[in-house]
Structure 1
Amino acid sequence: MNREGIPGRVARLRERLRREGADVFVLVVTERYNGESMGYLSGFRGSSGALVVSEDRNYLLTDGRYALQARAESPFDSIILDGGSLQDKTAEILRQGGWKTAGFEAERLSVSFFSALEPSVPAWKDCSGLLPALRRRKDEGEAAIIRKAADLAYDTYREVLETVREGMTEKEFNALLEYNLRKNGAEGGWKNNSFIVASGERSALPHGVPTGRAFRKGDIVTVDFGATVEGYMSDLTRNFSLGPLSPQGRDIQDTLLEAHLRAAEAIRPGAECRAVDAVARDVVTRRGWGKHFPHGLGHGLGLEVHEAPRLSPHSRDVLEEGDVVTVEPGIYIQGWGGMRIEDDYLVTAGGAVCLSGGKGREAPAL
């Protein structure tokens, strides 16, 4: 993960802490949980550690397994545990600091860990929304990494597509895709999420995980996939068919293409997320498929595959410059199948910039 943006991120964190009335912030990672925010703020990507950030101090606490890694990845002052627990050492640092009010993430800190820290500071303030808000705004470097992850994912998908044949199973396709992503330079697919490979009637499942079902002549296959590069993820959905698309399949594809492009045109700073969703939903409804579009239009993307903001009829989010969001209208018909078309967009002052290239949106017939 690029260290160049860390000073700016820490400065923005401190500014927000002042607004919250907190003079220190504590972030904890256990067994990789919450590791995305740890990496974003400090650069450190180990599986266990804690950050303590005040107006004039930045501490990174971890154990001996990560002594070299912590110093290589992070500009923070490293404190390496020499026996004892992470909870006890973090509490000791807080006591020594003499801070009055500590910000923490109630949504991401276990009760037992918090109980160990609580006596070390007089007052605590839940700042669970602080890091997600900071992470929303992607800088040029972050956007470039997501673009790289999208290009790598799409090129690898096209490579695997050349191997498709009748009788290949969903699991085989998925395994080849994941293997080739790593071979081609990705850290892997998505962290903590599996790809979607759904064929034939199973493509009516928006979240159809790969099974042993074999591809058959006439199948539509929906593939929702991405790559991780330097911790950042891309998220694309493409479709292909074994044989020509049916007239209904062509109509659904054309509907989704129109809905996708119209929604992308509506993306700009200040746009309500539900209004962008409505643009795509109106197209799908006008063309007769409205009841078959059961999910929101998209979501934020970055260090996690699902982040703020949400593009949905129920969202109260407003798009901001620097957001990266997916646009993924879908149509699903029980007993027949379904399709979805997804790309990743950066919100800029001038509108939406497609980070995933927009290539291959029309389903090829294999």
Structure 2
Amino acid sequence: MDKPNGSAKRLQGVPGRLAQLRSEFPALGIDALLITHGPNRRYMTGFTGSAGIALVTQEEAFLVTDFRYMLQATDQAAEYSVIRHEAQIFQTIADLTSKLGVRRLGLESRHVSLQQSGQLQAAIGSLEYVQTEDVIERLRDVKDEEEIRTIREAARITDAAFTEVLNYIQPGVTERRIAAELEYQLRLAGAESGGFAFIVASGERSALPHGLASDKEIGQNEFVTMDFGANVRGYLSDITRTVFVGNPSERHEELYAIVLEANMTTIAGLRPGMSGREGDRLGRNVIASYGYGEQFGHGLGHGFGLEIHEQVRLSPESQSALVPGHVITVEPGIYIPGFGGVRIEDDVLITDDGAQVLTSSPKELLLL
């Protein structure tokens, strides 16, 4: 099992992130790293624009962007020298690496397309390229104090939107209408946008773990599952609540009670140093003990932040250790084709001695 490595006090913000990144260079065998993945660029620079490439060496840091973003980049990326490129951004990168004497250039292998690779080779053919994988993503796993504050705010906004949308859930209303209302309420409460494509699945469709909102009308006596979240200054929240329209049968109530027990058992048992597999087992064993193990086919949770799915996983395969500062979901579910499904998802911060729930929407079965 990977050892916990995120509990030490870290220098906050972009300066601390640059120091951490540079400390990885000797082991990677690189002189500089080219950052092309948007969320990684934002994390490492503070720049929120949609176009640009960052180049970080042991001594300096550069952000190359175009005319549209020069003022914004200069304002937001205070630790970087901002350079404007003209037609070919990789030619500007080539000129820069040549001037700096870079010989071994690290690339984000999962985020460089074949086309970009070809453009790089044409522009900077003399360099030695080193394929790196998830270097910055691993830094992003452990959230700093400002990131946690922002995710808390996103969770609060998401809870507020859930409270409001309950007023609109009734027979005859389409799933798509509920998804639109969720987006509207999130923005009213202060979100920049929704965090991802929302899941709203009712009746038999609630057995679809990723049942995106459709034109189906909500019916009487059925589950409605909503998986949604807010985007606040680039950071996301991710919550799922299942409610019931009408009068539930004993089977409906049983399924809900099992999933709720799995959710609460997991949260109560999470600890730093525990592997993702051990965390997954906390909730999975509850569901399996009632005979529904085959109806729970996805991981119990995942990390999130600037992206909705990040490196940390609660899954049967994950051996990575949870550490303080990890922010993860806990989302057990049961899905029965032809009947329906239940999922209850919370956002959770791993602390020095356990787990703290960031989402506060009610979890008892709400009857509408």
Would the TM-score normalized by the shorter structure come out above 0.5? yes
Alignment of 1:23 with 2:15, yes or no, is: no
Alignment of 1:152 with 2:152, yes or no, is: no
**What is the TM-score normalised by the length of structure 2?**
0.93
Q: Distance in 2 between matches of 1:268 and 1:4?
A: 24
Please list, as runs of the form range in 1=range in 2, the aligned pairs for 1:30-49 lying within 5 A after superposition. 34-49=37-52
Q: Distance in 1 between matches of 2:268 and 2:169?
A: 34
Secondary structure of the corresponding residue to residue 161 of structure 2: helix
Secondary structure of the corresponding residue to residue 109 of structure 2: coil
Q: What is the one-letter code of the residue matched to 1:168?
A: V
Deviation per CA, 1:241-277, whole angstroms, max 9, x where unpaired?
Answer: 1113221111111111111111112322211111111
Alignment of 1:187 with 2:192, yes or no, is: yes
Q: Distance in 2 between matches of 1:62 and 1:96?
A: 18
Specify the alignment match of 2:133 in structure 1.
128
Q: 1:79 aligns with which of 83, 105, 109?
A: 83
Deviation per CA, 1:222-244, whole angstroms, max 9, x where unpaired?
Answer: 00000010100000000111113
Residue 225 of structure 1 contacts residue 236 of structure 1 at CA under 8 Å; is this kept in 2? Answer: yes
User: CA distance change for structure 1 residues 289 and 342 in 2, over 3 Å: closer, same or farther?
Assistant: same
Specify the alignment match of 1:141 in structure 2.
146
Q: Distance in 2 between matches of 1:340 and 1:111?
A: 39
Q: 1:106 aligns with which of 106, 109, 124?
A: 109
Residue 186 of structure 1 contacts residue 228 of structure 1 at CA under 8 Å; is this kept in 2? Answer: yes
Deviation per CA, 1:130-189, whole angstroms, max 9, x where unpaired?
Answer: 011010010111111111101101111111111222110000000111122122210111
Q: Distance in 2 between matches of 1:143 and 1:12?
A: 19
Residue 95 of structure 1 contacts residue 121 of structure 1 at CA under 8 Å; is this kept in 2? Answer: no
Residue 102 of structure 1 contacts residue 121 of structure 1 at CA under 8 Å; is this kept in 2? Answer: no
Q: What is the one-letter code of the residue matched to 1:219?
A: E
Instruction: Compare 209-218 and 308-317 and name the one that shifted more.
Output: 308-317
Q: Distance in 2 between matches of 1:268 and 1:23?
A: 38
Cα displacement (A) at 1:63:
0.2
Specify the alignment match of 1:171 in structure 2.
176
**What is the TM-score normalised by the length of structure 1?**
0.94
Deviation per CA, 1:303-361, whole angstroms, max 9, x where unpaired?
Answer: 0000111111122322122111110000011111000000011112111111223x311
Q: 1:361 aligns with which of 357, 360, 363?
A: 363
List runs of 5+ in structure 2 lacking aligned partners.
1-10
Residue 237 of structure 1 contacts residue 343 of structure 1 at CA under 8 Å; is this kept in 2? Answer: yes
> What is the aligned length?
355
Percent pairwise identity:
40
Q: What is the one-letter code of the residue matched to 2:164?
A: E
Cα RMSD, aligned residues only? 1.5
Structure with higher RCO (Cα < 8 A, 6+ apart): 2
Cα displacement (A) at 1:43:
0.6
Residue 95 of structure 1 contacts residue 120 of structure 1 at CA under 8 Å; is this kept in 2? Answer: no
List runs of 5+ in structure 1 lacking aligned partners.
29-33
Q: Distance in 1 between matches of 2:57 and 2:331?
A: 40
